[in-house]
Chains A and B, each alone.
Chain A
Amino acid sequence: MLLTGLLLTGFVVFLTGSAVRAYLLLRLPIHGRWELYPVPGEKGRAAYGGSYYEENLWWQRPRATSFVSELGAMLGEMLFIRRLREHQKSLWWASVAFHWGLYCLAGFTALLAAGAAWEMGWGQAGPAALAVSAALRTATATLGGLGVALGLGGTLGLLARRLFDPALRLYSGPREYFHLALFAAAYVTALAVYAPALAAPGGRLALSLGVMKAVLTLAPVPADVAAGGAAVAHLVLLGLVLIYIPLSRLSHYVAKFVTYHRIQWDNGPNLPGSRLAGRLAREAGQPDAPGKAGANP
């Protein structure tokens, strides 16, 4: 039951911790305009980094923004870490592998939960249900395998850079090495659990499904999992990683949302009667911003 409790705690802490991190950053006062071009939301101008300030009498013209463009830029950063590729490609390979490993494992976890739920209670009868279950297992195993391979490769690549690049080594301290060591340990134990699966594909996935079913039903993990040293080590490390991420600098995925969307890409002007003006007034404890209908003169 301890393992189940640790994993459940891990998931809960990861989600709530991330949310709390986001809240703490987002409730800071609105920034005093630290935008940085190119701002992808500038419709028709994002490609070269232009802004509404390029228009004569800009405040009289409707602002043309593009959420799709901003979303595309954000996805590009999340999936491909574009800035790192452009400015430090030698580090990019390891970093993108590391992050893609995590994305694959997030997908693996989601599919595992779906598969476990499917097998436990939904549409149990009939060939269609079995086909869905089989498809889920295949997809889950694929994502899991990819995730571990990319994640471990990326982790070892980043570790090697920190150890052997004099410039990176200078700024890498216990915390940086601990982070990478923690991930490496989780991946290595995952491999130790799944390596025998090469001889019996799908067999070990049943272990993962068993663990997920236990978490979903608040039951102890299956006995064969609890008896396996590598499996226990992996699950403990997994739980600790999930708890540790939102409490540490590893929660930079939250900060990145703030620095990109709320700072660098937030170039909205403070115009009389605007929503921004209203927000500034509220933050400053002022009466409603003058210029707004019904407000103080």
Chain B
Amino acid sequence: MTRTADATRPGMVSRLADMNRPASEQLLDPNRLELAALPEPPGAEATAAAPFAAPKDSWKDKYCAFLDGFVGLDALQRPATEAEERRFLEGFVTGLRHALDPVSNRGSLQQLVTSLDFCAKCNTCSEACHVFAGAGRAEIYRPLFRSEVLRRIVRDYVRGRLTLDTPGSWLRWETVARLGELAYRCNLCRRCAQACPLGLDNAVLAREVRKALSQELGLAPTALHASGTQLQLRTGSSTGLTKPALLDTLAFIEDFIGEKTGRTIKIPLDKKGADILLIHNAGEFLAWPENPAAFAILFEAAGLDWTLCSDMLGYDSVNYGVWYDDTQAREIGARQLQAAHDLGARRIVLGECGHAHRASMVSLDRAFGAAGRGWVPRESCLPLLAEMVEKKVLRFDPARNDFPVTLHDPCNLVRAMGIVKPQRVVLRAICPGFREMAPSGVTNYCCGGGSGFAVMQSLNFPDFRNRVSSRMKYRQILEAFQPELGGAARGGAAGMAGAAPGGGVTPNPSRPKYVCAPCSNCKGTIRDMFDYHKATSRLGLRYGGLAELMVNALADLKAPYLDFLSEVGA
């Protein structure tokens, strides 16, 4: 893998062969990253340019921080002996062999083979990658860099004649460890695949690295596996929310609805034969109960025949397996469908969670063979909500949402599923201050929390997410609200009367500016992003789902539904 070094930026990795360096050498110092510029409003306190903290010595000893100083794959710990190193390498290579097997990897094989074999090395993919752009074009974050390392391993050790004992064998455990970490520097957003002139898919390749490590060696981030899918299979939810806790939470939500709206709503639960089984990302119950509450208010007001489910895996729509492990994904998906089937619901409606939409409706659509008589239809909540607006099922007063609003498009909804219009139908009807980000729709940027980053909160991984992978999204948000923050708007802002173009506008943190993100993990990422940049206290940036905006706009509501409106006296 020797290449001529590119010495244009000292200290930056530029060679594929660098992946083979010993563990004592960290390839990239994140403090040398030239992060993408943020259009901070003039006069506002600049986002603290605090240096990235170096990994603790104990982390360096235990984990594999020698890629870029961050640790995402926390289950991967340094092998203690040469025998362990060898088992690690053999396991990974075996995992790649299974990846190329038409029986064990049938669903991804076509995309995997084409992406491995036909890359023209034109680098067009990199021009679309938000991580690469946000990190100032640091070479190791280039999609092609990661894919090329994988290709060479496959070429030499899977399809080729090299073994670990062959003279000339070059594969080291550090190489695979770095590659494993690098697979968790990709949000699997597939913007690169959208840009590739040959239709190849770096996200598929990154995912196959994750799968080889997980399915063969049991190595996956704790947040996704041990505290994610395994917890979900054990308790019913990736949050650990058990049925008794769910019942308590629903009682709380009913009280919340009563206090907020004066309405008495009994959330239907385990109703047999209902038309709709609504399944939320269970994180909503814990972090944003106003969202499932909003759904309950809307569904009841619209007179829908609906229910929640309290059975195991029937109340949590998440499926982290789609990010790293087909076995986990199928297990969870099958049991979710079983819960719906047992309840006799006529259709499943997915609440506001992007990956849950995609897992249930797309990724697992062909995973269980031919659809049979027990097939349960699954659909997005968004067309249903749009219908409430279009058909005037409910009365909305847009003046109640008279503050700037922009829309973050979750990758799994738009690029992976083509659900673009319904959320816009709603926002245009109920938010007079709605404006698009640029780019938007199917060419959106990922929030930076995709593929599990949003829930990976351990060690120093949040630093990477908050400051690198979500950087382009934060930039988009600032640009979308530039009439209010200072500077001319980009990307087709709806008319904002009174907003002065150009400079001279001082950000008013009391005036809320709302990022509508109809996805739990995107909301979590934006929350953490705002926390890091102090975006709420400094700039008045807020975030939330779509259902909350709709409830806030209900014409017969006596007080604002959105808490921050009460805080700012709106």
Contact = CB atoms under 8 A, between A and B. Distances in A.
B122 A259 contact: no
A77 interface: yes
A269 interface: yes
B402 to A, nearest CB: 27
A29 B421 contact: no
B240 interface: no
Contacts of B362: 33, 35
Contact of A274 (B371, B414, B442): B371
Nearest to A260: B199
Central interface residue in A57, A274, A281, by most chain B CB within 10 Å? A57
A80 to B, nearest CB: 11
B131 to A, nearest CB: 16
A95 B111 CA distance: 24
Contacts of A122: none
B376 to A, nearest CB: 10
B475 to A, nearest CB: 18
Given A33-B362, A270-B371, A280-B369, A49 B441 contact: yes
A34 B108 contact: yes
B148 A171 contact: yes
Interface in A20-52: 25, 28-39, 42, 45, 48-52
Interface stretch (A64-72, A86-94, A138-146, A191-199): A86-94
Contacts of A270: 365-366, 370-371
Contact of B422 (A36, A54, A169, A276): A54
Contacts of A251: 118
Contacts of A51: 417-419
Where chain B touches its partner, the secondary structure class is loop
Contact of A289 (B120, B365, B370): B370
A56 B383 contact: yes
Given A36-B194, A271-B375, A272-B372, A54 B421 contact: yes
Interface in A237-291: 249, 251-252, 255-256, 258-260, 262-264, 267, 269-272, 274, 276-278, 280-281, 283-284, 286, 289-291
A168 B111 CA distance: 24
Contacts of B377: 57, 59
A86 B196 CA distance: 10
A259 B14 contact: no
B122 A88 contact: yes
B418 A32 contact: no
B511 interface: no
A270 B376 CA distance: 11
Contact of A255 (B114, B363, B375, B384): B114
A276 B418 CA distance: 20
A223 interface: no
Size class of the contact patch on chain A = 35 or more
B380 interface: yes
A185 interface: no
Contacts of B6: 166-167, 169-170
A83 interface: yes
A45 B419 CA distance: 10
A15 to B, nearest CB: 19
B372 A290 contact: yes
B102 to A, nearest CB: 5
B81 interface: no
B490 to A, nearest CB: 18
A171 B198 CA distance: 17
Contacts of B371: 270-272, 274, 277, 289, 291
B124 A91 contact: yes
A112 to B, nearest CB: 29
Given A29-B107, A83-B197, A53 B122 contact: no
A169 B365 contact: no
B114 A34 contact: no
A250 B410 CA distance: 35
Which residue, of B8, B114, B197, B416, has the highest number of chain A Cβ atoms within 10 A? B197
Question: 9 tightest A-B contacts by CB?
Answer: A32-B107, A51-B418, A259-B199, A49-B442, A289-B370, A29-B106, A290-B372, A277-B370, A281-B370
17 contacts: A28-B102, A33-B362, A49-B414, A49-B420, A49-B443, A50-B420, A51-B418, A54-B418, A167-B6, A170-B3, A171-B121, A258-B114, A264-B193, A264-B199, A272-B371, A290-B372, A297-B373
